Amino acid sequence: MDDNRPHLVIIGGGITGLSAAFYAKKRLEAAGARARLTLLEPTQALGGKIHTLERDGFFIEKGPDSFLARKRPIIELTRDLGLMDELTGTNPQAKKTFIVRGGKLHRIPQGLSLGIPTEVWPFVQSGLISPAGKARAALDLLLPRRGESGDESLGDFFERRLGKEVLEQIAEPLLAGIYAGDLHALSLQATFPQFQAMEKRHRSLILGTLASKKAALADALELPEAVRHSTFLSYRRGLQTLVQGLVAALKDVELRTGEAAASVAPAAGGGIQVALADGGSLAADGVIVTTPTYEAGRLLAAHVPAAEALQRIEYVSVANIIMAFERSDIPFPLDASGFVVPRREKRTITACTWTSGQM
């Protein structure tokens, strides 16, 4: 091995770290550059929160179970890994989603896109929103753009554009189900920057969503025909397919599981020194940190004062419970993706996905 090659160390072996290693390798090869890549992962498994378990004929997702089809980076990664034919979409027979209100399931109106109404009649007919709440949502078509630039919370944005009732009854349970957090504590730019862009370009969030649907149809032509109309996507054998594809593509990268970084600091003779938890160290010319923010803050705080702010970012704990039943024991058709639960219902559960009906 040529130890004089530049050395890039990636800390964290979740989907971000694996993707960073993949694209670093890809760009170095495209530039004809030679470098050594090392990835450190403190646990014995790669993939982070993604973990597909195959048991008793089921593919069980112990972490996330799908991704939004409109997220271009993961589609591009899927294409670059040659996994496009492995994509699977939502069941076309399970177009409905329910929301809990007053302890009962109510169908979410047709035409809602991540909580944004795009079809008038189904929204008007819905019993989920009061007449006053519907009128307030319609004001989005008339309200001006936000005067100031910069970020705001996802909750503040929805309340400003569509009103408090739509936020609490529909948008909050739908979007919180994706991010498992308080919408008033989630950054708009970090979660749905396209909403802010819609307001700037079209003034109205509803009009912007309608325009983006047309653009999404054009983008969907790049996808296999069977999944072009799906809101959520996965892979035939679960999201672990993506992890396996990345690992297979990183044969020239040193993947070191069971090894944790203790600190990252400038080296005395130049470059960067990565201290390991077992007492060893690595000399690096570049480092990419892809750990949770609190861990990144700890690794960098001694030499990067601004990194201390990373340790103040709040995380939430999520419990994922999977249950399997005989189909004959379910007395109703699985023609929906499941249901979500607004915070105001004061339930422990936030959502329930009917996986056999959804995918």
The domains of the chain, with CATH numbers, are 7-89+235-312 (3.50.50.60), 96-229+323-357 (1.10.3110.10)
- Give one word for 241, left, alpha or beta, with left for phi > 0 and alpha for psi -120 to 50: alpha
Q: Is the pLDDT of residue 358 over 80?
A: no
Q: 14-23, 53-62, 123-132, 163-172 — which one is most confidently predicted on average?
A: 14-23
First-to-final CA distance of the chain: 46
Return the number of other C-beta atoms located less than 10 Å from residue 192's C-beta: 21
Backbone angles phi, psi at 55, to 5 degrees: -150, 135
Please write the tens of the pLDDT for every residue from 305-326: 999 999 999 888 888 899 988 8
pTM: 0.87
- Phi, psi angle pair for 332, to nearest 5°: -145, 155
Cα separation of 337 and 135, whole Å? 28
What is the rounded distance in angstroms from the CA atom of residue 349 to the CA atom of residue 327? 23
Q: Residues 300, 302, 306, CA angle at the centre, nearest 5°?
A: 65
Q: Which of 206-210, 250-254, 344-348 has the lowest mean pLDDT?
A: 344-348
**Nearest Cα to 357, choosing from 93, 154, 181?**
93
Residue 1 reports pLDDT greater than 50: no
Mean pLDDT of 296-309: 93
- pLDDT at position 217 is 66
C-alpha span between 51 and 58 (Å, rounded): 13
Helix ranges restricted to H, 126-204: 131-138, 154-162, 164-166, 172-179, 188-191, 193-202
The chain-wide mean pLDDT, for the chain, equals 91
Q: Which of 28-32, 109-113, 253-257 has the lowest mean pLDDT?
A: 109-113
241: tokens are 């397919």
Dist. CA 77–CA 75, nearest whole Å: 5
Provide the sign of the torsion angle of the four alpha carbons 343, 344, 349, 352, taken in this order.
Answer: negative
The DSSP symbol for 119 reads -
DSSP states along 207-246: HHHHHHHHHHHHHHTTS-GGGTT-SEEEETT-THHHHHHH
Tens of pLDDT, residues 207-246: 999 988 777 766 666 788 888 888 889 999 999 999 999 9
For 187, the 3-state DSSP assignment is: strand
State the DSSP string of 87-104. EEE--TT--EEEEEETTE
In this predicted structure, what is the pLDDT of residue 201? 94
Burial category of 263 from C-beta neighbours within 10 Å (exposed 0-12, middle 13-18, buried 19 and up): middle
Q: Note the pLDDT of residue 166.
A: 95
- What is the structure's pLDDT at 218? 62
Residues 6+ apart with CB under 8 A from 99: 105, 106, 107, 108, 128, 169, 170, 173, 339, 340, 341, 342
β-strand pairing of 336-340 with 351-353: antiparallel
Q: Give the range among 104-113, 160-169, 212-221, 267-276 with minimum mean pLDDT.
A: 212-221
Q: What is the Cα–Cα distance from 113 to 118, expressed in whole angstroms?
A: 7
Task: Locate 94 and state its tokens.
Answer: 């399970």
DSSP character for 147?
A: S
